[in-house]
Amino acid sequence: MITVAEVIVDVAAYPVDRPFDYLVPAEMTNIMECGSRVKVPFGPRNVLGFVVALKNDTDVPLEKIKPITQILDIEPVLTGEMLQLAKWLKNETICYEIDALQVMLPSALRAKYEKVITLQTDVEHLPSSLKEWFEKSERVYLKQFEKNNLLPDIKKALKEKMVSLENVVQQKGKVKEVRKVRICPERETLTEIFNNISKRAKKQKLLVEWMFNHVGEIMEPDIIYKELNTSSQVLQAVIELGAASFIQQEVYRDPFTKDVKKTDFLNLTDEQSTALYKITDAMNRKQPETFLLHGITGSGKTEVYLQAIAKCLEEGKEAIVLVPEISLTPQMTERFRSRFGELVAVMHSELSVGEKYDEWRKVHQGKVKVVVGARSAIFAPFENVGIIILDEEHESTYKQEDSPRYHARDVAIWRSNYHSCPVILGSATPSLESFARSKKKVYTLLTLKERALKQSLPTVQVVDMRDELKQGNRSMFSQQLVESIRIRLERKEQIVLFLNRRGYSAFVLCRDCGTVLQCENCDISLTYHRSNEKCKCHYCGYEIHVPKTCPQCQSDHIRFFGTGTQKVEEEIAKLFPEARVLRMDVDTTKTKGSHEQLLQAFGDGEADILLGTQMIAKGLDYPNITLVGVLSADTSLHLPDFRAAEKTFQLLTQVSGRAGRHSKPGEVVIQTYTPEHYAIELAKSQEYEPFYEREMHMRHQAGYPPYYYLALIQISHHDVMMAAEYAGKAADWLRSKLSFNISIIGPTTAGISRLQNRYRYQCLIKYKIEPNLIPTLLQLIKLYRSDWIKKGIILTVDLDPTMI
Ligand code: ADP
Ligand code: ZN
Ligand code: ZN
């Protein structure tokens, strides 16, 4: 009987977006499993592939079928669940299956790597075929066994946990090792050595004598040096005599920069108990159920998560917690670690490739039970998921902008169906989509209306900056805000000042001719970075030194502008020379762990004012913060985005929530040029539902989600005429295939009309229910992949786009 593997190959192009049959060579049949990566011949070369199915027959004629070249994983890297999920992602987001498979793995597994087998027991216990390999070293490259046809033996030893298997990443990260000392396990040998050491070598004798109490132990050399006040030469000498040996031991890199204190469960408030009860009830019933936990800022949503997770762990299950961008919320991670300690792994963008890989392995090997991470942590390879939590579910970072264009919320719900477990979507300001679903009872709504410690919400004042201007105040601080800051400084309370970033990224402008430095490849102005005096494009990475003269008119009046936080900092220094200010923005948080250090310093009272952008809006929970100032509420309001009002409301509510969370009452001052806008008016009263009603009405009238669905088609080409022509073709084609009640807007130029030297056009499709849409889009893609692609066109489809 033959064994055939269906393999998805690592070539993202339409004609190959299906499984190919490969023959599993006889020596691999015992070890081949679905979810393993393999090397297979594809055309003239070998490519990476994923085994997605195994079977005993094939339609490919036997003389034509090619054998698998090499098996890369003896233990599969993808579970059966992940293989199913990939198929679903492929259909749901219209992507290549290979992209869906790759997105589930840490990048280390996509890079070059080498497999290593590590001994986990005494050499004596190994089967005789393997013994000689581990005599000299604890670690042997897997390829040694492969060459010598020993893979079946290794597989068996792996199952019996006598050895373990690791990927050693060759390029970016490596399994980290430390050198340790293993003291000789045989007492007789030690005695013999001891007797042979000459009396003059006192230190050596002392050391070996000490070793009698540590027979067979493994320890760090430093401990030996300290304990015996001895040197590395002495240790080296006794090692040469055979009393001990150096070994390499693998360690996980520690992504946590500091230790945390253990915390205990809090006594829940009535509202919290009710919410927790409903969640645990769903767990007991083993039902998939999606909860929307709508709780005002400071209402104790996190405590509900923590106790739900505790229950899940009691049942022997695992938990996945997503946070929007974890590097921005160190306090959040800390709260999970302080409750669950070593059982927590973190996955976020600030970790190195090696650290990410190590955290992933902890999950894959079952060493941890809780993952706290950003979007991609939704693919944590747990096999027994008991709960999935999305904190701040409204955040747009949960949607991936590149293929596969998935939303973590949808994947969470898919996995909850697979594992029959609950999903909790938590927010003080839920997305309109989610709240609408809770009204329709698709999600179960849980509400926390009061703050956990019964504090009242902060008072909010809105200051009209136009009036300030009329009164001759040209500063970016209103009278009101200055006064409020002064009072806090006197009372030694803390202040958070929030700058709505987008309108404030620094750019370089010529004061004589008005030229703004632009990227060579994109239609976007370059961002100025003071630290290295460079201007950089945030889209393509292009960078230049700040020129001394204007490239247009040669004037030397060329200066950077709108440096946002830096400028505010300077102004604070003028107004309040005595205030200690911590600035948190892209420039001050470049190095790893700097977010954490800055927040810690602020928490420890080392500064009076924390000044920052978006990144301070979330998670901050310090008792001494009693004033929050929003310098410019409008900047996010006027973005060309149908969610602009929603985002502004969310942001204002989030930052306001930072004030007065503990015993001292809080105050918020919002400065704006449009106080009459409903997003600002309703943020003032901090009531979600009136905002929801109002915004739903707007969306209904304008034909936007959640009333309509959106699909965005983007077309780009190096040549502007080609891009326009094919965008027109796509629009015409769609109009001819789709029914009349669908509106197709465009083609229009995209928000950023040129990116990396490609001109971009787009069509927006608005639809209600259109069973024909996905098949039609698939046909369009087929047309593109079989023909347009050859002309250099790139076409992408984004269902439910977050950015238009
Ligand atoms: P949210 O995530 O809803 O903004 P948090 O979970 O951060 O709220 O809770 C706000 C504050 O209230 C935190 O300092 C938290 O420790 C505290 N807290 C939450 N629940 C309780 C409780 N049941 N008893 C006492 N303090 C609580
Ligand atoms: Zn100029
Ligand atoms: Zn660029």
Residue 112 pLDDT: 57
Q: What tokens does 481 get?
A: 């805000």
- Return the H-helix or E-strand segment holding 610: strand 609-612
Q: How many Cβ atoms from other residues are within 10 Å of residue 627's Cβ?
A: 25
Pair 22, 10: CB distance under 8 Å: no
Q: What tokens does 195 get?
A: 């007797």
Distance of CA 525 from the midpoint of ligand 2 (Å): 15
Length of the chain: 804
Residue ranges in 446-552 assigned as alpha helix (H):
465-470, 479-491
Bridge partners of 712, per DSSP, are: 764, 798
Q: How many Cβ atoms from other residues are within 10 Å of residue 604's Cβ?
A: 9
Pair 194, 164: CB distance under 8 Å: no
pLDDT in tens, 579-595: 999 888 766 776 777 77
Ligand 1 atom index nearest CA of 267: 23
- Nearest-CA neighbor of 518 among 541, 536, 545, 505? 536
Bridge partners of 165, per DSSP, are: 117
Distance of CA 126 from the midpoint of ligand 2 (Å): 76
**Alpha carbon of residue 98 to chain centroid:** 20
Ligand 1 atom index nearest CA of 335: 16
Please state the rounded mean pLDDT for residues 429-451: 95
**C-alpha R_g of the chain:** 31
**Alpha carbon of residue 268 to chain centroid:** 30
Checking if the pLDDT of 416 tops 90, the result is yes
**Alpha carbon of residue 405 to chain centroid:** 14
Distance of CA 370 from the midpoint of ligand 1 (Å): 20
- Nearest-CA neighbor of 175 among 265, 93, 113, 111? 113
Best mutation site among 302, 390, 454 for ligand 1 pocket (most ligand atoms within 8 Å of CB): 302
Q: Is 317 helix (H, G, I), strand (E, B) or coil?
A: coil
Which ligand is nearest to the Cα of residue 512, counting in written order?
2
Checking if the pLDDT of 371 tops 60, the result is yes
User: How far apart, in Å, do the first and last CA atoms of the chain sit?
Assistant: 54
Which ligand is nearest to the Cα of residue 513, counting in written order?
2
Pair 460, 649: CB distance under 8 Å: no
Query: For 401, which DSSP code?
Result: S
Pair 470, 676: CB distance under 8 Å: no
Confidence of residue 251 (pLDDT cuts 50, 70, 90): low
Residue 665 pLDDT: 83
Best mutation site among 265, 453, 650 for ligand 1 pocket (most ligand atoms within 8 Å of CB): 453
Checking if the pLDDT of 802 tops 80, the result is no
Ligand 1 atom index nearest CA of 302: 6
pLDDT in tens, 147-186: 788 888 888 888 888 888 876 544 333 556 778 888 888 8
CA distance 637 to 647: 8
Please state the rounded mean pLDDT for residues 210-225: 85
Confidence of residue 394 (pLDDT cuts 50, 70, 90): very high
Please state the rounded mean pLDDT for residues 68-89: 92
Which ligand is nearest to the Cα of residue 448, counting in written order?
1
Pair 324, 618: CB distance under 8 Å: yes
Confidence of residue 506 (pLDDT cuts 50, 70, 90): low
Q: What tokens does 554 get?
A: 């040669």
- Nearest-CA neighbor of 505 among 587, 411, 392, 619? 587
**Alpha carbon of residue 399 to chain centroid:** 11
Residue 640 pLDDT: 65
Q: Which span out of 171-180, 319-328, 700-709, 710-719 was modeled with the highest average pLDDT?
A: 710-719
Confidence of residue 306 (pLDDT cuts 50, 70, 90): very high
Distance of CA 700 from the midpoint of ligand 1 (Å): 36
Checking if the pLDDT of 509 tops 50, the result is yes
Name the residue at shortest CA distance from atom 14 of ligand 1. Answer: 621
**Which sign, positive or negative, has the C-alpha torsion 474, 475, 476, 480?**
negative
Which DSSP string do the residues of 721-781 spell out, in sequence order?
Answer: HHHHHHHHHHHHHHHHHS-TTSEEEEEEEEEEEEETTEEEEEEEEEESS-TTHHHHHHHHH
- Nearest-CA neighbor of 637 among 700, 587, 680? 680
Name the residue at shortest CA distance from atom 6 of ligand 1. Answer: 300
Ligand 1 atom index nearest CA of 268: 23
Q: Own/partner pairs for 699-705, CB < 8 Å, 24+ apart?
A: 699/432, 699/642, 702/642, 703/743, 703/766, 704/642, 704/766, 705/432, 705/433, 705/642, 705/800
Checking if the pLDDT of 520 tops 90, the result is no
Residue ranges in 10-126 assigned as alpha helix (H):
80-93, 97-102
Distance of CA 401 from the midpoint of ligand 3 (Å): 17
Residue 637 pLDDT: 75
Q: Is 15 helix (H, G, I), strand (E, B) or coil?
A: helix
CA distance 284 to 304: 17
Pair 390, 305: CB distance under 8 Å: no
CA distance 736 to 316: 55
CA distance 372 to 319: 9
Residue 54 pLDDT: 95
Which ligand is nearest to the Cα of residue 516, counting in written order?
2
Q: Which span out of 158-167, 192-201, 295-304 was modeled with the highest average pLDDT?
A: 295-304
Ligand 1 atom index nearest CA of 299: 3
| Ligand 1 pocket, CB under 6 A | 266-269, 272, 295, 297-303, 452-453, 621, 661
Q: What tokens does 411 get?
A: 């994947």
Bridge partners of 671, per DSSP, are: 463
**Which sign, positive or negative, has the C-alpha torsion 667, 672, 676, 679?**
negative
Q: Write the CB contacts of 392 (distance below 8 Å, at least 6 apart in sequence).
A: 323, 324, 426, 427, 618
Which ligand is nearest to the Cα of residue 263, counting in written order?
1
CA distance 418 to 582: 46
Best mutation site among 276, 621, 662 for ligand 1 pocket (most ligand atoms within 8 Å of CB): 621
Q: Which of 327-331, 392-396, 542-546 has the lowest mean pLDDT?
A: 327-331
- Nearest-CA neighbor of 730 among 686, 665, 777? 777
Confidence of residue 293 (pLDDT cuts 50, 70, 90): very high
Question: Would strands 385-391 and 422-427 be described as parallel, antiparallel, or unpaired?
Answer: parallel
Distance of CA 618 from the midpoint of ligand 3 (Å): 29
For 224, what's the count of Cα atoms within 13 Å in the CB-facing half-sphere? 30
Distance of CA 570 from the midpoint of ligand 2 (Å): 26
Ligand 1 atom index nearest CA of 391: 2
Which ligand is nearest to the Cα of residue 302, counting in written order?
1
Distance of CA 639 from the midpoint of ligand 3 (Å): 20
Pair 253, 355: CB distance under 8 Å: yes
Checking if the pLDDT of 324 tops 80, the result is yes
Distance of CA 512 from the midpoint of ligand 2 (Å): 5
Confidence of residue 504 (pLDDT cuts 50, 70, 90): very low
3-state helix/strand/coil string of 28-89: HCCCCCCCCEEEEEECCEEEEEEEEEEECCCCCCCCCCCECCEECCCCCCCCHHHHHHHHHH
Pair 703, 687: CB distance under 8 Å: no
Which DSSP string do the residues of 502-564 spell out, in sequence order?
Answer: GGG--EEEETTT--B-B-SSSSSBPEEETTTTEEE-TTT--EEEPPSS-TTT--S-EEEE--T
Give phi and psi for 21, each to the nearest 5: -85, 135
CA distance 586 to 598: 13
Distance of CA 755 from the midpoint of ligand 3 (Å): 6
Distance of CA 537 from the midpoint of ligand 3 (Å): 5
Dihedral angle of Cα 200, 203, 208, 211, to the nearest 10 degrees: 160
Q: Write the CB contacts of 344 (distance below 8 Å, at least 6 apart in sequence).
A: 333, 336, 337, 368, 370, 371, 372
- Return the H-helix or E-strand segment holding 238: helix 232-241
pLDDT in tens, 17-58: 889 999 999 988 888 999 999 988 887 777 889 999 999 988
Ligand 1 atom index nearest CA of 301: 3
Confidence of residue 527 (pLDDT cuts 50, 70, 90): confident
Mean pLDDT of the chain: 86
Ligand 1 atom index nearest CA of 272: 23
Q: Ion ligand 2 — residues with CB under 5 Å? A: 510, 512-513, 515, 550, 552-553, 555
**Alpha carbon of residue 187 to chain centroid:** 51
Name the residue at shortest CA distance from atom 15 of ligand 1. Answer: 300
Pair 20, 9: CB distance under 8 Å: yes
Distance of CA 516 from the midpoint of ligand 3 (Å): 14
Please state the rounded mean pLDDT for residues 116-131: 86
Of 61 and 512, the structure prediction assigns the larger pLDDT to 61
Ligand 1 atom index nearest CA of 295: 3
Bridge partners of 180, per DSSP, are: 247
Q: What tokens does 82 get?
A: 């992940």
